[in-house]
A and B are shown apart, each in its own frame.
Chain A
Amino acid sequence: GNSVTQMEGPVTLSEEAFLTINCTYTATGYPSLFWYVQYPGEGLQLLLKATKADDKGSNKGFEATYRKETTSFHLEKGSVQVSDSAVYFCALTGANSKLTFGKGITLSVRP
């Protein structure tokens, strides 16, 4: 079946540091890939998505590129802010269009 593996957390960074959160997946066919973010006390929000190989999703300074050859969708941001502190989930929809999530990773950004 489909699965998503995220790097172990939590991650703590200083403001303006570079962020990479790794995500790899296993799926049949050609999945769509997503990053969702959950801010404290709020619901899951779509951060960005990519629907085919080599697509780059971007939003709020975050980027992720759909790499089919390495089955990866790593999330990056050049300069994190305190307001980026949240839980980040990588997810995919496969042939059955069911959304499968990773376990999530908590990011804390220090001033």
Chain B
Amino acid sequence: EAGVVQSPRYKIIEKKQPVAFWCNPISGHNTLYWYLQNLGQGPELLIRYENEEAVDDSQLPKDRFSAERLKGVDSTLKIQPAELGDSAVYLCASSLEGRSGTQYFGPGTRLTVL
């Protein structure tokens, strides 16, 4: 069974530029999560989707971050404009049993903002 797929794996951009990350969850997983992982820290939740509905986006900085999950399958996380402090790893995860299910993580996208 294929795991969570994320692309790109690495991205280097200059500050003020836009950037987008893509995630394809495990087939059949209705719940999708985006996490931010700073260096030396554990992941922190940005947003959680149940199917195509964002049910927990309280930690998403909405002035520059946006996310969508059209058709309730794959998802895109966007930053516009990027700032130096956005340099981090962006992780996507999915789960089968809603918010109580075990979360399976993708390899992440490492973003460097210059």
Binding site for B on A (CB under 8 A): 4, 32, 34, 36, 41-46, 49, 89, 91, 93, 96-104
A97 to B3, CA, bound (A): 22
Given A42-B107, A43-B107, are A103 and B100 neighbors across the interface (CB < 8 Å)?
no
Which B residues are CB-close (under 8 A) to A98? Answer: 45, 48, 56, 99
Contact A103 B40 (CB under 8 A): yes
How long is the Cα–Cα vector from A101 to B45 in the complex, in angstroms? 10
B43 CB contacts on chain A under 8 angstroms: 44, 89, 99, 101
Q: Judging by beta carbons under 8 Å apart, are B100 and A99 in contact? A: no
The 6 closest A-B pairs by CB, nearest first: A101-B42, A97-B99, A44-B105, A43-B107, A43-B105, A43-B106
- In the bound complex, how far is the Cα of B106 from the Cα of A102, in angstroms? 19
Cβ of B108 under 8 Å from chain A: yes
Binding site for A on B (CB under 8 A): 3-4, 33, 40-45, 48, 56, 91, 93, 99-100, 102-108
Is A103 a contact partner of B106 (Cβ separation < 8 A)?
no
* CB-based contact A99/B107 at 8 Å: no
Q: In the complex, A96→B102 CA distance in Å?
A: 14
13 further interface pairs, Cβ-Cβ under 8 Å (given A96-B56, A104-B40, A104-B42): A43-B3, A43-B106, A44-B93, A44-B105, A49-B102, A89-B42, A93-B100, A97-B99, A97-B100, A99-B43, A99-B45, A99-B103, A101-B43
Question: What residue of chain A has the Cβ atom nearest to residue B9's Cβ?
Answer: A41
CB-CB under 8 A from B102, the residues of chain A are: 34, 46, 49
> CA A58 – CA B15 in complex, angstroms?
44
Interface CB pairs A-B, < 8 A, 19? A4-B42, A36-B105, A41-B107, A43-B105, A43-B107, A43-B108, A44-B43, A44-B91, A46-B104, A89-B42, A89-B43, A93-B100, A96-B56, A97-B100, A99-B45, A100-B42, A102-B42, A103-B41, A104-B40
CA distance A85 to B91 in the complex (A): 21
Tell me, in angstroms, the Cα distance from A93 to B33 when the chains sit together: 14
Of listed B41, B43, B48, B106, residue having the most chain A CB within 10 A: B43
A92 to chain B, nearest CB (A): 11
